[in-house]
Amino acid sequence: MTGSASTPPADLVLEELRALRSELASLRALIEVYVPLRTPPSAGYVPPEAVAMTVRQAAARLGCSPKKIFSLLRDGELKRGRKHGRQSMVTVESVEKVSRLPGTKAAPKRPEPAPAPRPYDDVAAQAEVQALIASTRKRR
């Protein structure tokens, strides 16, 4: 009687296991959404709602160096945006105008984020991890 009082019925254990699996699935779905958001955008990527971009972003967009961007700003071909601290900004509108001129590169598209690495997708890797765990247990 004492042994059966501390052991939960099999139905309760299975129900709890199903709930945990469901929660794990929802957490995995959240991770798949969150990981791409944390990946840094490419140097030339500017959100569509932006009014200005950094000199580095403008250089990546036009396929030239930041030094060339400063030269275009000085010559009046690009318009300055509001400075953020010490960082010079260039208006998106002026960069778009210059990018449409012949001889300039098209704006690069934002690359697709790399899929998050999954440590146990490979059976061989899983076996290697298990062997490492077993060898560390033997040492103790």
Shared-domain flag, residues 32 and 67? no
Shared-domain flag, residues 57 and 77? yes
Q: Quote the pLDDT of residue 2.
A: 47
Q: How confident is the model at residue 10 (pLDDT cuts 50, 70, 90)?
A: confident
Q: Quote the pLDDT of residue 118.
A: 62
Evaluate the CA torsion angle 9, 11, 15, 21 in order and state its sign: positive
**DSSP result, the chain:** -HHHHHSPPHHHHHHHHHHHHHHHHHHHHHHHHHHHHHSPPPTT---TT-SEEEHHHHHHHHTS-HHHHHHHHHHTSS-B---BTTB-EEEHHHHHHHHTSTTSPPPPPPPPPPPPP-TTSSHHHHHHHHHHHHHHHHH-
Residue 75 lies in a domain: yes
Residue 47 lies in a domain: yes
Q: Domain residues for 17?
A: 7-39
> 110 pLDDT exceeds 50?
yes
Shared-domain flag, residues 22 and 83? no
Mean per-residue pLDDT for 113-124? 64
Q: Which tens digits make up the pLDDT trace of 31-59?
A: 666 555 554 555 556 666 678 888 988 88
Shared-domain flag, residues 107 and 48? yes
Q: What percent of the chain has pLDDT over 90?
A: 12
Shared-domain flag, residues 78 and 94? yes
Q: Quote the pLDDT of residue 42.
A: 56
Residue 62 lies in a domain: yes
Cβ atoms of 57 and 44 closer than 8 Å: yes
Shared-domain flag, residues 46 and 101? yes
Mean pLDDT is lowest, of 2-16, 56-70, 79-93, 96-110, for 96-110
Residue 131 lies in a domain: no
Structure tokens at 16: 């709890």
Residue 74 lies in a domain: yes
